[in-house]
């Protein structure tokens, strides 16, 4: 039985049409070396048999709860799980990923020692090319008060130079455990990814604004399973507009401080993705439409404003040329450079 006197960790797993992945994910949870966990499977209106698979898994382990709900997206499924979580800390795992069997033992050890508001840890990317670590090992393992936002979170967005040790944990909700009391007290929950570009970033921004202590565990304990073709599969017509809205929202969250080119760096990263997506769907919508969309993006007032004084020279030479062409609003050059980069991405990712 679960020992309710010990600090339980609630693991929330949104499930949507992942029948072929969910068993491996759940097995990595039920076989944890730390046993005082509850696993909340939130079936978000699956149609591929995942709903039934969740019920089967629940029969195998009393720590598994299953919630069925209408489809509303990843963020809303996580919020549903939080409402019923009994643990002192909560964790979010994507149902097509898996974790190290020592993950929650490591988390519990740090909870006992420091009782931080958040514990972040490293992620691995699993692809056809094997397993590779995401980011670099951290140089600082604890942050308190204002440093949580200023030196941890903001640096994870776009500090120069990259690889300075602050991009280790990234900004994924899957790479952390959170004190539930802190989330409830500050009314922090996930926004819908259907309304903003990246719900994880905004969630962690709100968390890091309110957290008084953050601990970093310098180990790579999460396995993110990369499924190819993501640029095409994740294409959305409103991506650039969503990126703009997110930029303004993030600036509001940090009270519009003028010193944060890191927010601008994050926007430029999203701009690159938007440009690439226009070209990967070129065959379907036609070159003329794709090129016109590229032109609209690089002539957008926000892009012009950000690049006006942005330190482009700190990027590597390829990105320097790319951003210089964007800054000069050279549509044909930007279009050509983006196409070249897509070809390089395909070679690199296989």
Specify whether the CB–CB gap between 17 and 77 falls below 8 A: no
Q: What is the domain extent for residue 171?
A: 9-225
Last residue of a domain, one of 193, 225, 257: 225
Question: What pLDDT shows up at residue 186?
Answer: 97
Question: What pLDDT shows up at residue 7?
Answer: 72
Stated length of the chain: 350
Sites in the chain below the pLDDT cut of 70: 1-6, 158-170, 228-235, 256-260, 283, 346-350
**160 assigned to some structural domain:** yes
43 with 129, same domain: the answer is yes
Give the Cα separation of 286 and 309 in Å (integer): 34
Question: What pLDDT shows up at residue 347?
Answer: 61
Last residue of a domain, one of 182, 200, 225: 225
**4 assigned to some structural domain:** no
164 with 237, same domain: the answer is no
208 with 290, same domain: the answer is no
Question: What pLDDT shows up at residue 58?
Answer: 98
Question: What pLDDT shows up at residue 198?
Answer: 85
257 with 186, same domain: the answer is no
Distance of CA 198 to the CA centre of its chain: 7
Question: What pLDDT shows up at residue 231?
Answer: 42
**1 assigned to some structural domain:** no
Specify whether the CB–CB gap between 77 and 69 falls below 8 A: yes
Give the Cα separation of 151 and 153 in Å (integer): 6
Give the model confidence (pLDDT) of 49-107 as tens digits: 999 999 999 999 999 999 999 999 999 999 999 999 999 999 999 999 999 999 999 99
| Long-range own/partner contacts, residues 54-61 (CB < 8 A, 24 or more apart) | 54/15, 54/22, 57/22, 57/23, 57/26, 60/30, 61/30
**3 assigned to some structural domain:** no
Last residue of a domain, one of 168, 196, 225: 225
Question: What pLDDT shows up at residue 258?
Answer: 52
107 with 162, same domain: the answer is yes
119 with 42, same domain: the answer is yes
21 with 152, same domain: the answer is yes
Name the percent of the chain lying above pLDDT 70: 89
Question: What pLDDT shows up at residue 318?
Answer: 85
Give the Cα separation of 105 and 124 in Å (integer): 18
* Residues sharing a CB contact under 8 Å with residue 301, sequence separation 6 or more, in sequence order: none
Overall number of domains in the chain: 2
220 with 287, same domain: the answer is no
Give the Cα separation of 234 and 237 in Å (integer): 10
């Amino acid at each position: 039985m679960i020992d309710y006197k010990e600090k339980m960790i609630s693991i929330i797993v949104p499930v949507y049409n992942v029948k072929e992945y969910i068993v491996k994910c759940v097995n990595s949870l039920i076989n944890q070396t730390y046993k005082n966990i509850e696993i909340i499977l939130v079936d978000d209106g699956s149609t591929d048999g995942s709903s039934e698979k969740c019920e089967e898994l629940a029969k195998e382990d009393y720590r598994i709860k299953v919630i069925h709900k209408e489809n509303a997206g990843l963020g809303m499924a996580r919020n549903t799980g939080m409402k019923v979580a009994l643990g002192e800390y909560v964790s979010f795992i994507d149902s097509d990923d898996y974790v190290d069997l020592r993950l929650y033992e490591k988390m519990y050890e740090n909870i006992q020692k420091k009782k931080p508001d958040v514990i972040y840890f490293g992620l691995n990317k699993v692809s056809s090319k094997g397993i590779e670590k995401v980011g670099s090992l951290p140089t600082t393992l604890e942050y308190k008060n204002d440093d949580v936002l200023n030196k941890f979170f903001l640096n994870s967005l776009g500090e120069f130079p990259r690889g300075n040790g602050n991009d280790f944990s990234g900004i994924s909700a899957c790479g952390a455990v959170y004190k539930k009391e802190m989330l409830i007290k500050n009314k922090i929950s996930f926004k819908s990814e259907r309304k903003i570009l990246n719900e994880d970033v905004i969630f962690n921004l709100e968390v890091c604004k309110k957290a008084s202590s953050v601990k970093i565990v310098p180990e790579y304990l999460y396995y993110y399973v990369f499924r190819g073709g993501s640029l095409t599969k994740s294409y959305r017509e409103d991506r650039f507009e969503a990126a703009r809205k997110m930029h303004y929202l993030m600036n509001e969250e940090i009270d519009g401080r003028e010193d944060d080119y890191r927010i601008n760096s994050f926007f430029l990263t999203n701009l690159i993705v938007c440009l690439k997506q226009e070209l990967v769907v070129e065959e379907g919508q036609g070159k003329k439409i794709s090129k016109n969309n590229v032109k609209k993006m690089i002539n957008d007032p926000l892009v012009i404003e950000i690049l006006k004084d942005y330190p482009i020279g700190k990027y590597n030479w390829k990105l320097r040329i790319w951003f210089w062409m964007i800054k000069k609003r050279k549509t044909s050059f930007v279009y050509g450079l983006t196409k070249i980069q897509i070809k390089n991405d395909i070679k690199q990712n296989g």
